Chains A and B, each alone.
Chain A
Amino acid sequence: MGRKLMFTLFVLVVAASFVMVSGPAMAADKEKKKEAPKQYVPLLIYRTGPFAAGGSGIGSGWEDFMQLRNMQGGVNGIMYEWEECETAYNVARGIECYERVKSKKPAYIHPISTGITYALLPKGTKDHIPIVFEGYGRADAADGRVFKWAFNFPTHYWSQNTAKIKFIAMKQGWDGKNMADIGKYLKGLKIANLHIDVPYGQETKPILDDMAKKYGLVVRHFPVSWPGIDQKAQWMDIVRRFKADWVINRNWGVSCTVPLKEAARMGFPRNRILGVWWCGSEEDVLPAGPAAKGYYATNFHGVGRDFPMIKQIVDKVYGAMKGNISFTRVGSVYYNRGVITGITMDEALRTAHKKFGVKVINAEEMRWALEHMNITEERIKEIGAEGLMQPMKTSCADHEGGGLVRIQQWDGQKWVVASDWISPMKDYVRDMVEKSAAKFAKEKKIKLRDCSKVD
């Protein structure tokens, strides 16, 4: 009896789930047609799985921003309409989500996962949908001549690592201005690049090796195997054998916290560890407790609630109980990153409205707009995001736009700003980007776009 009952229950659940797929979806479609057209925004995020902190923070910040804009009457009167698709940071699910939302004509896709980005790049190029990866994905996509449909503003990993080296030089006493004598401060410095051993972790190896040659640094790479929960052997090596002066923490998710604990165990000073911006959130340092105090991490935006934009969200969105995440996380690193995502999208849409008229923007128009964005200091002040984000200006050749990086330090309670905006070694990075992109273009037989002829 019990078995039969259970089986019947199971069949009912399965049947019900299939019925529900079609029923409400159709009803919702009918309702939509009556209303004014809305700007459809798909969110490929992950609220489950090992990296949920990142996915939920960014996704919710982005949603709250759109909620705020909708309360203020939309972007030039066009309301946002968004839909979440849970990827669980899983590539197969990410592609399924992409195919699912594709038919609803999204203006662009922002997958929040390096693995999914790699899979979507060829698809986006073929389907003519811009793929935007803010602060992740492949660095050489900054060369817009080769990667027509990919954007990695405001900055990418290679810029970040040159900024890191600059920051390290500053800590050694460099004045931060004269590039000619930076080598003097860096010579002989031992830098351990502790990276997770997946393509994402390896991305910065060539640029670090190259800089090592250029400035006389000693760089050694310490791979950590996925998922990186155990790093004892690497730390023994870094501290006892290699005797590193600085450690670059290039991990992701759970593996970000481990180095802090290991360093504390080995007595390695935490203020000699410099994290990637995916290892620089509250969720990464809080589990390490007091061991995290003094840890540096890079970032490309501001942290906290002390910005007019965030305050507006707190007042209006959370005041009306329409927030998408628990209130305590508002203003955290990942949350603000989501708000930045929203702002750049908003600005791109406004750019598109200027050129194509105020309407729902499609993917082709969005691509043009993403390439002609110009977010100036004044505009940032106007939005109320001063200090929250950096100015950026994209062009046909330059899909990176900004490039500025900021260092923050964990004081045991919160992230405090530890440096001004550091500009990366722009020409040098650009050179690397172009070389890598050219190689890619040659492999794929892509003809470089002539940017002087594109409007």
Chain B
Amino acid sequence: MFYRECGNFKDNYASDMAIFPIPLDRYGFIVMLILALIVIPLTATDYWISSIMIPFYCFALSAFGLNILAGYAGQISIGHAAFMAVGAYASLILYGRYGIPLLPSILGGGIVSAAVGTFFGLPALRIKGFYLAISTLASQFIIQWVIVHWRWVSGGVFGTVEAPDMQIFGWALDTPVRKYYLVLCIMILLITFGKNLVRGQLGRNWMAIRDIDYAAEIIGVNLYRDKLIAFAVSTFYAGIAGSLITFCYYGAANIEEFHVMVSFALIGMIIIGGLGTILGSFLGAGFFVLLPIAINQSLGAFMDVVPSDILSNIEAIIFGGLIVLFLIVEPYGMARLWHTIKDKMRLWPFPY
């Protein structure tokens, strides 16, 4: 059957290690890929591509980065938006001021962000839980302060670095569709890499640390190294996401785009979406990026009937209500719903 293995027989290593053991997932993934790669660029309007899909992918990527740290390795970070800012400013400076080609610049943004992230991850070697959360909150404010006050970075009193026109090998990335493809390709590449990372030895180590850290240490997991790697990888993803969203969506790096509320939103994304799942990063990002816009747009229909001040607040009320509702319905996140369905289907019609 397409929604389950035909029995639980795996007769070779390849099928045992498959990313998608169930055909349903496999085909579903292919359909999603076709949708994202072909259907959306062909059919969607510029508005949809440039201001809905691009930020959605970027936030999904950033949420996935945070998910590596919080969902897989169990280390909380409330300063993730600041690392996006580091990546954004770093890649803009590399590309705009030093003329380094676009792709290495974006990679450079990720690497600088990873370096900074590793530094701020150092407290994780000694503290955990809420205490770590507070120390990462400090990273948000320290980075924000440094960017605003270090003139060389922020380019003077206005604190803004504009994104120059993008090109790869002389090929201009000027239309929304081209930017969309840039974001999509980098995202797919990084998510594939990340998925394999969390499936491998490193991912297992992280999960062991997340579940019981001293037990992990006893069975031979190098806590310090693996925690720092988790910080580095996670902030690398944040940096790439930050530089992509600045290049392709914001068009200018300004510290107000990466303030602490964005960090909270990222945490919200992975909690609502599902900690420790890749699907959850996408669902969560969709929930936080797309849903408010959808509510806002659909409320537009009532514009002539309801006073506009009430209308604007209704959006916040509905959105907040949905968050609460969702946490009650499924505390483990939206991805868990899908897992529950899948697990039921695997055993159906003979559940035990």
Inter-chain contact A86/B296, CB cutoff 8 Å: yes
Inter-chain contact A91/B148, CB cutoff 8 Å: no
Inter-chain contact B252/A121, CB cutoff 8 Å: yes
Inter-chain contact B255/A198, CB cutoff 8 Å: yes
Describe A's contact surface by its main secondary structure. Answer: helix
Q: Which residues between 266 and 318 of chain B lie within 8 Å of chain A, taking CB atoms?
A: 291-298, 300-301, 303, 307-309, 312-313, 315-316, 318
B162 close to A (CB within 8 Å): yes
A145 close to B (CB within 8 Å): no
Chain A residue nearest in CB terms to B302: A24
What total of A-B pairs shows CB separation below 8 Å? 141
Q: Which residues between 36 and 60 of chain B lie within 8 Å of chain A, taking CB atoms?
A: 45-47, 50-52, 55
- Interface range, A side: 35 or more
Knowing A20-B298, A100-B47, A202-B159 are in contact, say whether A115-B256 is a contact too (CB < 8 A).
Answer: yes
Interchain CA distance A100-B300 in the complex, whole Å: 13
Interchain CA distance A92-B261 in the complex, whole Å: 12
Inter-chain contact B162/A444, CB cutoff 8 Å: yes
Interface-centre pick from A83, A95, A206 (highest chain B CB count, 10 A): A95
In the bound complex, residues from chain B placing their C-beta under 8 Å from that of A181 are none
Inter-chain contact A199/B159, CB cutoff 8 Å: yes
B178 close to A (CB within 8 Å): no
Q: Which residues between 92 and 142 of chain A lie within 8 Å of chain B, taking CB atoms?
A: 92-93, 95-96, 98-100, 102-103, 114-115, 118-119, 121-123, 138
In the bound complex, residues from chain A placing their C-beta under 8 Å from that of B307 are 324
Knowing A6-B329, A103-B45 are in contact, say whether A91-B296 is a contact too (CB < 8 A).
Answer: no
In the bound complex, residues from chain B placing their C-beta under 8 Å from that of A233 are none
Knowing A99-B50, A199-B160 are in contact, say whether A13-B322 is a contact too (CB < 8 A).
Answer: yes
Q: Which residues between 1 and 54 of chain A lie within 8 Å of chain B, taking CB atoms?
A: 3, 6-7, 9-10, 13-14, 16-18, 20-21, 23-25, 28, 46-48
Measured between C-beta atoms, what is the minimum distance from B309 to chain A in Å?
5
Inter-chain contact B47/A102, CB cutoff 8 Å: yes
Chain B residue nearest in CB terms to A120: B251
Segment with Cβ contacts to A, from B21-29, B150-158, B187-195, B236-244: B150-158
Q: Which of B141, B252, B292 contacts A118 (CB 8 A)?
A: B252
Interface-centre pick from A3, A48, A206 (highest chain B CB count, 10 A): A48
Interchain CA distance A30-B158 in the complex, whole Å: 44
Chain B residue nearest in CB terms to A436: B156
In the bound complex, residues from chain A placing their C-beta under 8 Å from that of B296 are 85-86
Q: Which of A18, A46, A99, A102 contacts B298 (CB 8 A)?
A: A18
Inter-chain contact A99/B51, CB cutoff 8 Å: yes
Inter-chain contact A86/B300, CB cutoff 8 Å: no
A427 close to B (CB within 8 Å): no
A160 close to B (CB within 8 Å): no
Interchain CA distance A25-B298 in the complex, whole Å: 8
Q: Which of B292, B295, B309 contacts A56 (CB 8 A)?
A: B309
Q: Which of B156, B301, B308, B326 contacts A10 (CB 8 A)?
A: B326
Interchain CA distance A103-B50 in the complex, whole Å: 12
